[in-house]
Structure 1
Amino acid sequence: MPISDADIEEEQRHFANVVTTFRKYVPYHLAANNRRRKDLFTLPKADQDLLERLGYKQKLDEVDKAILANEVFLSKIVVDPEIFGAEDEGEDDHMPEEEDEADNPEPSSIGSGEHSSQSHSHSSGSRTHSHSHSHTHSQPHSHSSPKQYKPTEFDMDKLRSTLKQFVRDWSAEGKEEREASYGPMKDALLAHFSDIPKEERRNFRVLVPGAGLGRLAYDVASLGFACQGNEFSHYMLLASFLILNKTDRPDMHTIYPYVHSFSNITDRASMLRAVTIPDVEPTLPPGSAFSLVAGDFEEIYGGESDANEPQAGVWDAIMTCFFIDTAKNIVNYLRIIHAILAPGGVWINLELSTGPLLWHWENNNTNDPSVELDLVEVKELAKMVGFEIENERTIDATYTTNSQGMLGYTYRTAFWTARKKI
């Protein structure tokens, strides 16, 4: 089904709103921190004095400094959003009144725009990653100005989650959590192609849908495979562009990902600590084949929208990590995965199995359809579609957890490999 000009305009509007969210990070969160100061002055003077002796006001000042330091990093992400095909309307007049921004946030809207589709390609080669980003349809001449948009708490939560995702995917601190999930998947990939010499891995194509900030896809490309990641979130796409294209040394950036909440914190040092990223130089050897494609998984890989690049049967492996529960129609997701795998190809999957799956569209308020299956049903469905499931096991894993915090969730994830029946 062709994408209409209205769809394209909606996508551009959403992208502009995401850029605005990045740019309004500081006033929003400084206002939230200033609310704590106002609350402090509502207390009896004797209570204020005790908190003064604890250094509470000083902690608030340190949080302000960390928020301002985060802005230095976040501003690099949106310094030139026009590379993604959007007009940059500047940063003037984007500073809202502090009290309005944090004390009266607008109601959140689940799924607001995040499900809009794009079809832009990001390609990276050898030592530097050169991304191209172009619409496949004509662009409208008008869309909502970023200056007219007031980010909601839902928007800001997406942005805060992106900072924590940087810790998971691109910091030394996140290595243990990252390897608990990505490690078994990479091991399974190497085991499947164990009879292939390393120098010939570039002849085998691996797809990573839901690539997020791109670390798993980058690691697969580092192993020598031809790897493509796919991602639809503008937050993730903008952030991964900075890491893969504008970062040329380890520990180049410093962020403070845990300063936004005072809950479940052992001490102020754990909340205020800096995290440097990336933990590696994010470049690949000459001749590496690595790309990121922006857009909706079903639209890009589920049809033949690009006659010059048919998808059916061309992927030797597909690796899905915390991805299949993003489906509105899980049947179609599995059908597409099966269709685009080569005969005998392998699907390597790691999925949250609590709840029993964390279906992203369950109970949504946007009238989007959602089909939720339990884990047994998902595996039975995979067999019906044409997969032979192997190597099943449960792996304990965390996700963007503050390693020094007092609260953390351990998920009993379901892991398997599945061969496409010939």
Structure 2
Amino acid sequence: MPLSEADIEEEHRHFANVVATFRKYSSYHLAANNRRRKDLFTIPHADQILLDQLGYKEKLDEVDKAILVNEQFLNKIVVDPEIFGEAELEAEKVVPESSSHSHSHSHSHSHAHPHSSQKRYTPTEFDMDKLRSTLKQLVRDWSDEGRDERETSYGPMKDALLAHFSDIPEEQRRNFRVLIPGSGLGRLAYDVASLGFECQGNEFSHYMLLASFLILNKTERPHMHTIYPYVHSFSNLPDRASMLRAITIPDVEPTLPRGSAFSLVAGDFEELYGQESDPDEPQSGLWDAVMTCFFIDTAKNIVQYLRIIHKILAPGGVWINLGPLLWHWENNNTNDPSIELDLVEVKQLAKMVGFEIENERIIDATYTTNSRGMLGYTYRTAFWTAKKII
């Protein structure tokens, strides 16, 4: 279904605001750090002397330097945001790029002109939180530091995919199509393509899409970029190094063998895969596997999510899931609907829709945790494979 002029204009505005957030990162966070300096002058002089002896001011100076390094990296991401301006608005069908990386970004909601509202838009704390989360997501997906965390989640999913197609010779895997909605920065999709499958990631967030484009299409060697993802909070830190340590990304050279089929598509999962908007590539029965990692709880209506997954899977196709049930729209203030089920209800619903659930287990997993911090959340994630039976 074609987007209306109002929808297109809203997409332009949103994308321009995202780019503005990237470009105003350093001024925002340097100001926040400078507030700490001002706070020093509000406490008794004797207390200031003690903090001087601890080197507190020097720590603030080091944070400023780290913020400026982050700024250099983030500027690389938005140096040419017009990359998103050439795709067709309904580009569910991926057109591979002629790049050595064999990667394609097809963007359905991305005709923005990023300079149009940049000067008048002031990013909010909510905007900046998304940007900070993107930096931490880069650690999870594309650093040596994040290997254990991502493999806790991605490892069982890749093993399940290989097990499902264990009777298929490796050289024939490219004949099987795998979809990964909510693909974030693209590492799981990249790994699946590296195994030889045709793989498509789908992501809605422009923060993630911009950052993944840099990693996948503009990165020439491992450890090319340096970031300081943990300098934005002074809480729950055992020492200075746990906040000020540099992380280099990516951990691998993000290239794939020639002939690999790998793409990322921008847009809303339900809009792109829930309707037959492209007569040349109907989604029904198109996918041999759908892999959802920390994704299904992003649904406003989980019934619709599961129906779409079931519909787009080929007969005998497999749905591989891992994640918590942190319903993203619960208690929202935007009047959006939100259906929130417990785990038993989700599995019962899956059976009603037409899945046979197998290989269930609980896997303890973290998500963008500072491994050297004093605070960490562990999700008791639900893992399963489910075959389409009807």
Q: Secondary structure at the match of 1:178?
A: helix
User: For residues 238-296 of structure 1, what are the alpha-carbon distances to aligned partners after superposition, in whole Å with 9 as ceiling and x for unaligned?
Assistant: 00000000001100000000000000001111100000000000000111000001001
Shift in Å at residue 2 of structure 1? 3.7
> 1:221 and 1:3 mapped to 2: Cα distance?
31
Assess, with a 3 A threshold, how the Cα gap between structure 1 residues 188 and 332 changes in structure 2: closer, same or farther: same
TM-score normalised by structure 1 residue count? 0.88
Assess, with a 3 A threshold, how the Cα gap between structure 1 residues 126 and 270 changes in structure 2: closer, same or farther: same
| Residue in structure 2 matched with residue 79 of structure 1 by the alignment | 79
- The one-letter code of the counterpart of 1:60 is L
Assess, with a 3 A threshold, how the Cα gap between structure 1 residues 19 and 136 changes in structure 2: closer, same or farther: closer
> 1:287 and 1:119 mapped to 2: Cα distance?
21
| Residue in structure 2 matched with residue 325 of structure 1 by the alignment | 297
> 1:133 and 1:305 mapped to 2: Cα distance?
15
Q: Secondary structure at the match of 1:415?
A: strand
User: For residues 205-233 of structure 1, what are the alpha-carbon distances to aligned partners after superposition, in whole Å with 9 as ceiling and x for unaligned?
Assistant: 00000000000000000000000000010
Q: Identify the range of structure 1 (211-220 vs 124-133) with the bigger mean alpha-carbon deviation.
A: 124-133
- Report if the CA contact (8 A) 1:177-1:399 is conserved: yes
User: For residues 37-59 of structure 1, what are the alpha-carbon distances to aligned partners after superposition, in whole Å with 9 as ceiling and x for unaligned?
Assistant: 00011111111111001000000
- The one-letter code of the counterpart of 2:347 is K
User: For residues 127-179 of structure 1, what are the alpha-carbon distances to aligned partners after superposition, in whole Å with 9 as ceiling and x for unaligned?
Assistant: 42454556589x69999511110000000000000000000000000000000
- The one-letter code of the counterpart of 1:56 is Y
Q: Secondary structure at the match of 1:389?
A: strand
> 1:403 and 1:33 mapped to 2: Cα distance?
23
- The one-letter code of the counterpart of 1:215 is R
| Residue in structure 2 matched with residue 302 of structure 1 by the alignment | 274
| Residue in structure 2 matched with residue 128 of structure 1 by the alignment | 101
Assess, with a 3 A threshold, how the Cα gap between structure 1 residues 192 and 222 changes in structure 2: closer, same or farther: same
| Residue in structure 1 matched with residue 170 of structure 2 by the alignment | 198
- Report if the CA contact (8 A) 1:126-1:287 is conserved: no
| Residue in structure 2 matched with residue 350 of structure 1 by the alignment | 322
Aligned residues: 387
Q: Secondary structure at the match of 2:207?
A: helix
| Residue in structure 1 matched with residue 388 of structure 2 by the alignment | 420
| Residue in structure 1 matched with residue 51 of structure 2 by the alignment | 51
- The one-letter code of the counterpart of 1:403 is S
> 1:395 and 1:125 mapped to 2: Cα distance?
40
- Report if the CA contact (8 A) 1:16-1:146 is conserved: yes
Structure 2 matches for 1:145-160, cutoff 5 A?
145-160=117-132
| Residue in structure 2 matched with residue 168 of structure 1 by the alignment | 140
Structure 2 matches for 1:372-411, cutoff 5 A?
372-411=340-379
Q: Secondary structure at the match of 1:349?
A: strand
| Residue in structure 2 matched with residue 36 of structure 1 by the alignment | 36
> 2:72 and 2:367 mapped to 1: Cα distance?
26
- The one-letter code of the counterpart of 1:81 is P
- Report if the CA contact (8 A) 1:125-1:286 is conserved: no
- Report if the CA contact (8 A) 1:12-1:143 is conserved: no
Shift in Å at residue 124 of structure 1? 5.7
> 1:396 and 1:375 mapped to 2: Cα distance?
15
- Report if the CA contact (8 A) 1:118-1:294 is conserved: no
Q: Secondary structure at the match of 1:147?
A: coil
Structure 2 matches for 1:205-216, cutoff 5 A?
205-216=177-188
Q: Which of 217, 233, 237 is residue 261 of structure 1 equivalent to?
A: 233
> 2:155 and 2:313 mapped to 1: Cα distance?
22
> 1:127 and 1:249 mapped to 2: Cα distance?
13
In structure 1, the gaps of 5 or more residues are: 87-116
Q: Secondary structure at the match of 2:119?
A: helix
| Residue in structure 1 matched with residue 248 of structure 2 by the alignment | 276
Moved segments of 4+, more than 2 Å: 117-127, 129-137, 139-144
TM-score normalised by structure 2 residue count? 0.96
Shift in Å at residue 306 of structure 1? 1.1
Structure 2 matches for 1:89-100, cutoff 5 A?
none
> 1:125 and 1:377 mapped to 2: Cα distance?
46
Q: Secondary structure at the match of 2:319?
A: strand
